[in-house]
């Protein structure tokens, strides 16, 4: 059975391992830990007390910026990403959020389809947004709640 809860400081190491193995250009450990320290909201999904996914988002006034979502490769395609997204959307509704924004790699077709499933729309493209070895454009998407 899956269990979603707020990320705790003690969860950061385990969640960061998922980040390193699922993101083609993972956040640095410092950025990942700093995100928690500065107060970004974070949820984790556990199976038998083992973290198998997480979602990180920033809340400002009546908006959310979805910063990161990842599911351990062995647990993908089992509804964990959907559970995390739906939990965040419920929290957004309770907080009176009006809009959610995100950026996604243009080459990440699975993620774009995932967001479209939740009625996110494509707003724009930022050319060469992701730099480095795995450079890519960013598709900017939003969802009005």
Domain ranges of the chain: 2-102
- The per-residue pLDDT for 118 is 98
Q: What is the pLDDT of residues 97-108, one digit of tens each?
A: 999 999 999 999
Burial of 26 (0-12, 13-18, 19+ CB in 10 A): middle
Residue 86 pLDDT more than 90? yes
Region 2-102: CATH code: 3.40.630.30
Q: How many CA atoms lie within 13 A of 96 on its CB side?
A: 3
Confidence of residue 24 (pLDDT cuts 50, 70, 90): confident
3 state SS of 118: coil
Give the CA dihedral 66, 75, 49, 84, nearest 10 degrees.
Answer: 30
- The per-residue pLDDT for 107 is 95
Average pLDDT over residues 71-95: 97
Q: What is the pLDDT of residues 31-56, one digit of tens each?
A: 999 999 999 999 999 999 999 999 99
What stretch of H or E contains 71?
strand 63-71
């Amino acid at each position: 059975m899956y269990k979603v809860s707020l990320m705790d400081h003690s969860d950061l190491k385990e969640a960061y391992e998922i980040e390193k193995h699922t993101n083609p250009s993972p956040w640095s450990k410092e950025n990942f830990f700093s995100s928690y320290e500065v107060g970004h909201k974070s949820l984790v999904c556990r199976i038998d007390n083992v973290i198998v996914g997480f979602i990180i988002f920033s809340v400002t006034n009546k908006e959310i910026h979805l910063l990161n979502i990842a599911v351990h490769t062995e647990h993908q395609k089992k509804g964990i990403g959907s559970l995390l997204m739906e939990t965040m959307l419920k929290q957004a509704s309770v907080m009176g959020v009006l809009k959610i924004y995100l950026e996604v790699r243009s080459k990440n077709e699975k993620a774009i389809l995932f967001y479209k499933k939740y009625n996110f729309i494509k707003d724009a493209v930022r050319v060469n947004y992701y730099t480095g070895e795995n450079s890519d454009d960013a598709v900017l998407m939003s969802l009005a709640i």
